[in-house]
Structure 1
Amino acid sequence: MKILFTSLLAVSCIANAQDAPADNMAAPQPQEQMDHRNMDHDRKSMSAMDKGDHDTGMTGMFGSYPMTREASGTSWQPDSTPMEGIHAMRGDWMTMAHGYVNAVYDHQGGPRGDHQAFAESMLMGMAQRPLGGGTLGLRAMISLDPTIGKAGYPLLFQTGETADGRQPLINRQHPHELFMELAASYSYAIGKDSSVFVYGGLPGEPALGPTAYMHRASGMDNPEAPLTHHWLDSTHITFGVLTAGYVWRNVKLEASAFNGREPDQFRWNIETRKLDSASARLSWNPTPAWSLQVSHGRLDNPELLEPDVSVKRTTASASYEHAFGSSTSQTTLAWGRNRKDTGPSTNGFLLESALHVTAKTTVFGRFEKVDNDELFQEDAPLHGQVFNVRKLSVGVVQDLFSAGKVKFGAGALVSKHWAPSALDSVYGSNPSSYMIFFRAKLAMR
């Protein structure tokens, strides 16, 4: 984590140096006056973007719309979503840097629970510029999650991927890869209200599912991964993606060819495989407050331990951003369905929300319901049976102080699980869990 934390501070120092006044500029204003000036500038920029004022230079990579609409990969979120990270203009390049480090103590209750201290992290950079009558976009994202260990961290009722290439991970959340995204895109306007684009990544994110959970404003303050991850957005790190899309006003239609295999247990490398899977997604932002999507894809042999089983995944989601007074909130409702070539079809439902009560205090919650048939090893009596699991998590995070453009905060969450009584002898009756975490993240102010 020392490397990533140093990177956060370095980005902050660079941003502060660029913001420093030149010798021939007026003396710095009092802090209160500067804060009001920054708030006024942000409101004017956001208002201009909402009106589609392209003279601000704040349009997206894939079309002539507010850049706040773009999220992970080529996915969309509500236009009115607040802009995270540090934004700057460097010549023709418009850049953004965002990142965080969460130091977490995790305690999962019940007989199958465990406890562990770990640090999860992400650092990303984006840049775009005009080129040849269109827009060139570049994205890079890394994580030091591999330092957690191949088995990741404890998370009751979570399944998916492997730590050793022989046994599946059960009741643990796998770590992310060192390279989460290395991608480029190019878009070209073909009319006043329409554009076409191509996106490629190694790794990258195909057109399948909602915005990935660590990028959704409704979920990014929650340090634990959703149980529905492998029903909704597990393809957000895919080693080999090529996407083509068409944007018309507030509608986007896109299709991807990608590698369907999920990452293996070696988290520090870049994997190369053929593009054997495909997906398509239709997105619609009817108003600045709403973002809707439906998508479907076929994943060719996604699980390393089930090399002959492919999955057809269908998802639908809606995200709503709302501002009232000085507070803002975002809520996401999502559904995903996995239909395997062999075995049962399963569903996952998610409802999550984050309320920014003040500029420093955020309350968040998540409710999930999943059908899981992977809770037991192959030689266990209950292997292959489908169990309906529900989980409710609520938490709060408080920003404590800032150093440059790095905000430091602390938070906690508690979770309650409900499962069929047939699992009581294994998991206990309705086990509870909690996490305590300290956070450092890049922020505009």
Structure 2
Amino acid sequence: MMICAPAFAQHEHMPMPMPAQKPQKPMQHDLASDFLMQQASGTSHDPAAASPHMSMTMFEGWMVMWHGSAFVSQVVQSGRGGDQFFSTNWAMGMAERPLAGGHLMVRSMLSLEPLTVGKRGYPELFQTGEGLIDRQHAHDFFMELAAEFAVNLPKQTVGYIYAAPVGDPALGPVAFPHRASAAEIPQAPLSHHLQDSTHIASSVLTMGAKQDAFGVAISGFHGREPDNDNRWNIDKGHIDSWSVRGTWDPNPKWSAQLSTGHLHQPEREEAGNIQRTTASIAHSTGDWSSTLVWGWNHKSDHDAHALLAETNRRFKVSNYLTGRFEIVRGVRALTGGYTKDLFRSRDLLGGVGGNVTVYRAPGEHPAGFYLFARLRSAAAAHGDH
């Protein structure tokens, strides 16, 4: 073959034309594209420095991305708490492309928790919400189905519109399953229903703009919480609730938000509207992410406040120390944990870990223990820190 090839090349006949291959154009990166890529839950975002655990590729002019997380856990609790083997999990697929002078992103996020957690939820002392006590409910199978269009405007401004039959309105911090500071804690915060429980809402429409460090967004959505009797469907309802959120990102390591919203009849078991107000600040260096959140639910007959602080420290490439402290309705909860990565492929990262939560409540001092295996999408590899 090495001898014949040059001889064939010198033949007088024209060479056979090869089928043309269409080159893949690189994605156009600009303010609007970067704005969409930073989002973590709905239109909320972690600090830009937070490491994204995401895989991506180009396909027919689209940048296609996916990421997700799955914990398989065993919980054992003292006192009135229960024990259970369960899995919390979610997976998100995204696709982005330039369109009409801006960028279009479509997203789908799914969870198998209706199967792996079930209607009764999993045991978590002092947790309440969606008809459960001392248990955390499963997420819906459809966590998000959304489309968002962002466009560059004058004076370093990005304008955007987000529409979702099921999605996350502009209310609260980044929802706990997507916070960089909570990435190694499988259980939900006790403050979930006072801070970020609207991250799965129906009939969501959000419009907003961001200029330099400052952003503002307004949302309309259906305020009723998902139906715990059927987590496999998409709950329907007209827009009857609203929210507004302001954000401040002074540099890539810091992000803050202040939001308020009116929730129309959110609870199926308890009548009444809720005015929810939240404030949060998040910090990340990539390997160390922390968040501080305050939430306030105001009803005509009572108020409820919640404070949360959590942190996630990655060190020596494959080790994580985690912590969470909460004050909710007179209960104090302190969680400490450790995770160790055991294997890594091009797209996946697997590890094992555990955490302990101690509680302080009037007349009670129980504890909860979680052991887990964790599998998630992998971020780009980098060196020791």
**Alignment partner of 1:126 out of 76, 94, 98:** 94
Aligned residue in 2 for 1:299: 263
Corresponding residue number in structure 2 for 1:152 = 121
Question: Amino acid of the residue matched to residue 193 of structure 2?
Answer: H
Give 1:35-74 correspondences, 5 Å limit: 57-59=28-30, 63=32, 65=34, 69-74=38-43
Structural mapping, 1:112-261, within 5 Å: 112-147=80-115, 148-161=117-130, 168-261=131-224
Task: Indicate the SS of the match to 1:79.
Answer: coil
Q: Percent identity?
A: 41
For 1:335, the equivalent position in structure 2 comes to 294
2 CA distance for matches of 1:130 and 1:193?
18
Q: Return the alpha-carbon distance in structure 2 between the equivalents of residues 114 and 64 of structure 1.
A: 46
1:94 aligns with 2:57: no
**8 Å Cα contact 2:53-2:376 kept in structure 1:** no
With normalisation by structure 1, the TM-score equals: 0.77
Work out which of the residue numbers 331, 334, 344 in structure 2 matches 1:402: 344
Quote how far apart the aligned CAs of 1:64 are: 5.7
Structure richer in strand, relative to its length: 2
TM-score, structure 2 normalization: 0.89
In structure 2, do the counterparts of structure 1 residues 68 and 134 end up closer, same or farther at CA, with 3 Å as the change threshold? Answer: closer
Distance 1:359 1:410, change over 3 A: same
Residues 373-400 of structure 1: per-residue CA shift (max 9 Å, x gap): xxxxxxxxxxxxxxx0000001011110
CA contact (8 A) 1:367 1:392 kept: yes
Partner Cα separation in structure 1 for residue 244 and residue 187 of structure 2:
28
Letter in 2 for 1:264: D
1:439 has 2:381 as partner = no
Deviation of 1:157 after TM superposition, in Å, equals 0.3
Q: Does 1:321 align with 2:284?
A: yes
Partner of 2:166: helix, strand, or coil?
coil
Distance 1:67 1:202, change over 3 A: closer
Q: Secondary structure at the match of 2:242?
A: strand
Q: How far 1:402 sits from its partner (Å)? A: 2.7
Distance 1:318 1:134 in 2: 29
- Which one of the candidate residues 309, 329, 333 is aligned to 1:351? 309
For the Cα contact (< 8 Å) 1:142–1:181, is it kept in 2?
A: yes
- Whether the 8 Å CA contact 1:104–1:118 is kept in 2: the answer is yes
Paired position in structure 2 for 1:277: 241
Distance 2:359 2:132 in 1: 19
Assess, with a 3 A threshold, how the Cα gap between structure 1 residues 58 and 223 changes in structure 2: closer, same or farther.
Answer: farther
Cα deviation for residue 100 of structure 1 reads 2.0
Letter in 1 for 2:144: E
The answer as to whether partners of 2:72 and 2:373 remain within 8 angstroms in 1 is yes
The structure-2 alpha-carbon separation of the partners of 1:347 and 1:67, relative to structure 1 and needing over 3 Å to count, comes to: same
Q: Give yes or no for contact 2:185–2:322 (8 Å, CA) kept in 1.
A: yes
Cα deviation for residue 120 of structure 1 reads 1.4
| Aligned 8 A contact 1:68 1:83 in 2 | no
Distance 2:121 2:324 in 1: 21
Say if 1:188 and 1:195, in contact at 8 Å, map to a contact too. Answer: yes
Q: 2:30 & 2:139 partners in 1: Cα distance?
A: 30
Moved more, 82-91 or 220-229: 82-91
Contact kept in structure 1, 2:170 and 2:244, CA below 8 Å = yes
Cα pair 1:283 1:293 within 8 Å, conserved: yes
* 8 Å CA contact retained: 1:101, 1:122: yes
Distance change >3 Å, CA 205–CA 262, structure 1 → 2: same
Shift of 1:299: 0.2
Q: Distance in 2 between matches of 1:58 and 1:399?
A: 32
Q: Does 1:368 align with 2:331?
A: no
Counterpart of 1:389 (choices 316, 324, 331) is 331
Counterpart among 362, 365, 385 of residue 430 in structure 1:
365
In 1, distance between residues paired with 2:179 and 2:195? 13
Q: 1:201 is matched by which residue type in structure 2? A: A
- For residues 103 and 87 of structure 1, what CA distance do their matches in structure 2 show? 25
**1:82 maps onto 2:24 in alignment:** no
Match of 2:18 in 1: none
Provide Cα deviations, 1:118-141, integer angstroms capped at 9, x if missing partner: 111111011111101111111100
Structure 2 distance, partners of 1:101, 1:180, is 15
Q: Which structure has the highest helix share of the two?
A: 1
CA distance in 1, matches of 2:196, 2:112: 20
Aligned to 2:360: 418
List per-residue Cα deviations over 1:215-239 (Å, max 9, x = no partner): 1100121001000101110000001
**Cα separation, 2, equivalents of 1:79 and 1:113:** 38
Shift of 1:149: 1.2
Instruction: Give distance in 2, aligned partners of 1:204 and 1:316.
Output: 20
* Greater C-alpha radius of gyration: 2
Distance in 2 (alpha carbons) for counterparts of 1:59 and 1:390 = 44
Distance (Å, rounded) in 2 between the aligned partners of 1:59 and 1:235: 30
Report the alpha carbon displacement of residue 354 of structure 1 after superposing the two structures with TM.
Answer: 0.3
